[in-house]
Structure 1
Amino acid sequence: MYCGDDVSSVVVDIGSYHTRAGYSGEDCPRSVIPSYVGLYDSQGEDVEMIDAGAVSQSRRRLITGSAELAFKRDAMEIQPLLQGDGIPNFDYLEDILRKSLIDGLMINPKETPMLFTEPPIHNKEARLRLTEFMFEKFQAPAIFIGKAPVYAAFSCGRSTAIVIDSGHRSTTATPVHEGFALQKCIIKHDIGGQYLTQQLQQVLEKERKIEIAPRYSFKKKLYNNNGTEGFDIMRLDTAGVHPSYANWCKEELVRDVKEEVLYVNEDPIDERSMETIRSTQYELPDGTQVTLQSERVALTEKLFLPNDKLASGGFTGIHHMVVESIGRADIDIRRDLFQNIVLAGGNTLFKGYLERLQRQVPEISPQNVKVKVVSGGGGGSGSTSGSERRFSSWVGGSILSSLGSFQQMWMSRQEFEEHGAIMIERKCP
């Protein structure tokens, strides 16, 4: 047991797009970095190997962090932290945690208890490996691992709720009852922010024939022509850029466009009605003007009225996920779940998302239940604050780990040495 009212701890939320870290008791994480690493061959400099800490003969180098990844290096490959099964690459995780905890928060991991979030679907192998990793590699004094939707519910003061968490790669519907994620009721579909980004990128590149020029591929030069100022665009040589880095940088630009101009129509909308949508313009970094009209709602409409390809995979819409997941829960708690639908994750931040769900869930719900949708992270109904939903799992973990009553819940290093990693299954069910 590791306890004490004055325990200073940190919260780490490892997502498929960002890794967030910060101090328990604070409102938002202080460190937010990409859940990606860059791999490249250094030229003539002594570098450390990823795993051994010795000078590498192959001079293969790993870098992390937003600023570092934004700097183009020849043949630098971009790799995601999380693998297809949701288990992190632990070589990459070590560097990302060092960047977040030591460089970002400036803490000593050997002296700081750490609370981690994990996906809602229980993965024993993943949590055992994380437990071993933190105690053996970082010499952590204590850790705790809990389900992200449970924390998201806590972030808005609820111990019972159904949490719709839509992030970069996937969307899950998770009923939470008295602080526990109901495993048999969880529904997951691999549709999230990345899907919409890629769909928009396809519209721009293939349908509109627009060249998406990453920031590293050009240089702006200011000119003044008889008092008229502007920029000339000079294209740069990109022959040495690795395809994975080029794709990652393009997705970053398209993601910005997506977040700026797309929204969810509050009512279902057909193709004819989409023609009445007001057009908007977006200027890419190289000055290219992008005009979007029907696409502003057509892409997000797939979240509620999926196309044939999505439907063939079993996805019938976010509102159907809510009702189906609640229907799998015990009948005695369904009313409470309908009244506490919590939104979490960056992909729920589109304007109109909350309102659309609030309108469509009652249409397919039992007539005698009240439906209420709220924003995770402490927001109420109708709240659109980005930090509230984007960081809701982190915020809930921050609240929980700062409570005096929680301090006896930590799994200590002594317990790990006596019982092994399997103890995490007892301490963090």
Structure 2
Amino acid sequence: MYLLLHRMGFNACFLIQDHVAATFGAGLGYACVIDVGHTKTSVSCVEDGVSISNTRVRLGYGGGDITQAYHWLLQKCAFPYKCDPNLSTLDAILLQKLKHDFCHVNLDVCGCFEKSFTVRQPKKPATSFIIQVADECLIAPLGIFHPELLGLTGIKPVVTQSRAVSDSEDPHDGDYLRETSRRGAKESGEPGDSLGGEGGASLILGGGGGGGEEDIVVDSMVEVCSSADFVLESGQPLGLDQAVLQSVERCGGDEQKRKMYGTILVVGGGLRFDGISHWLQTKLALHISYATKPDQIDIITNPKESDPQITTWRGAAILSSLETAQELWITAEEWKKHSVTILRERAPFMW
């Protein structure tokens, strides 16, 4: 915010969570959102413009890892063009194009096929190559479901929603929320040690009655999950289907879980493969319990028949133009005066 408003000279801006913006861009009231980027994949459940905090998980792999795995497999199959995507941007773009053109997740496509591609470089004539492609076009995209296949690209961390840390500029930081949560719980006769954390409490502060002290009301307290709550097998990161299952299972109640399983929104540019929606649908259907299984699992990979890479940006643009969102804008003068504390009033999510 400081960079935007004071260093870059923007007049005003406001914050919105990317998964919430994705549901706006897709025109959905609720969804389990999967955002597959170049270097990370994130999953969370969104309902009525609110991202449920303990369903958020970020996986340390994305479309770039699939590209690297595909390059490694091509090299094992006598790929005729010697390229190094780490040193040449043109080579990286070429491999990205080959991945999108050739890779798929369709079991009906099998055997070897002859494909051609053209290499273009500045001040050099275009060169065409013909290659034989086979199972490597299927194996590389499946790395998103079996991250052990992506092990050659390095360690893949799993990050979940954590407790808020102390912020010297914010009088309502995580420590404040935890203390007020405990106080409210003790006054109501409930234990308070398991309460609180970022997104864990709704606070209403007001001048009040006896003794001249403020009345503090604490409600909607939810315990924020720790990274240990997401089950990891043999130290391996979660596959995409397992991440979705564990995320949705942290929703409250069977009805909410059923809704999330029924509407799964895939955004970002890292998962644009033929047959990916059917594959994900099949993987999830094998593990969803009968109590939470919807009538139909709807995997939305092209919301509103548009590029999934722009869904989040389109949702943010829609929100920023709404009349009801005008009060969310934070001007440079307001940020300079109040700093991060103004987010308590202006952020459209629990800060």
TM over 0.5: yes
Q: CA–CA distance in 2 between the matches of 1:326 and 1:266? A: 27
1:415 corresponding residue in structure 2: 334
Q: CA–CA distance in 2 between the matches of 1:211 and 1:326? A: 44
Q: CA–CA distance in 1 between the matches of 2:324 and 2:96? A: 41
The counterpart of 1:179, out of the listed 38, 49, 59, is: 49
Matched, 1:320 2:239: no
Counterpart secondary structure, 2:315: helix
TM-score by length of 1: 0.55
The one-letter amino acid paired with 2:277 is L
Give deviations 1:32-72, integer Å, cap 9, x for gaps: xxxxxxxxxxxxxxxxxxxxxxxxxxxxxxxxxxxxxxxxx
The Cα shift of 1:260 comes to 0.2
Q: Which has the higher contact order (CA 8 A, sep 6+)?
A: 2
Q: CA–CA distance in 1 between the matches of 2:52 and 2:322? A: 24
Counterpart secondary structure, 2:266: strand
Give deviations 1:96-133, integer Å, cap 9, x for gaps: xxxxxxxxxxxxxxxxxxxxxxxxxxxxxxxxxxx001
Matched, 1:345 2:268: yes
Structure having the larger proportion of residues in strand: 1
The counterpart of 2:99, out of the listed 236, 253, 258, is: 258
The Cα shift of 1:298 comes to 1.3
Counterpart secondary structure, 1:333: helix
Give deviations 1:170-206, integer Å, cap 9, x for gaps: 1111111221222221122122110111112122335
The one-letter amino acid paired with 2:4 is M
Contact kept? 2:38, 2:63, Cα under 8 Å: yes
Q: CA–CA distance in 2 between the matches of 1:134 and 1:195? A: 31
Counterpart secondary structure, 1:315: coil
Give deviations 1:133-166, integer Å, cap 9, x for gaps: 1111122221012111111111122232110111
Give deviations 1:389-411, integer Å, cap 9, x for gaps: 11111111122112122112111
Counterpart secondary structure, 1:420: helix
How do residues 271-286 of structure 1 correspond to structure 2 at under 5 angstroms? 276-285=110-119, 286=127
Q: CA–CA distance in 1 between the matches of 2:107 and 2:246? A: 21
Q: CA–CA distance in 2 between the matches of 1:244 and 1:399? A: 37
Matched, 1:155 2:25: yes
Q: CA–CA distance in 1 between the matches of 2:261 and 2:74? A: 39
How do residues 283-322 of structure 1 correspond to structure 2 at under 5 angstroms? 283-285=117-119, 286-307=127-148, 309=151, 312-322=234-244
1:145 corresponding residue in structure 2: 15
Q: How many residues align?
A: 257
Contact kept? 1:409, 1:427, Cα under 8 Å: yes
Q: CA–CA distance in 1 between the matches of 2:329 and 2:6? A: 17
TM-score by length of 2: 0.66
The Cα shift of 1:290 comes to 2.4
Contact kept? 1:204, 1:210, Cα under 8 Å: no
Q: 1:388 to 1:295 in 2, by over 3 A?
A: same
- Give the fraction of aligned pairs with identical amino acids, expressed as a percent: 22
The Cα shift of 1:209 comes to 4.9
The one-letter amino acid paired with 2:111 is I
Q: 1:169 to 1:312 in 2, by over 3 A?
A: farther
Q: 1:299 to 1:354 in 2, by over 3 A?
A: same
The one-letter amino acid paired with 1:321 is A
Q: 1:377 to 1:279 in 2, by over 3 A?
A: closer
1:355 corresponding residue in structure 2: 278
Q: CA–CA distance in 2 between the matches of 1:330 and 1:350? A: 32
User: 5+ residue gaps in structure 2?
Assistant: 120-126, 157-232
CA RMSD of aligned residues (A): 2.5
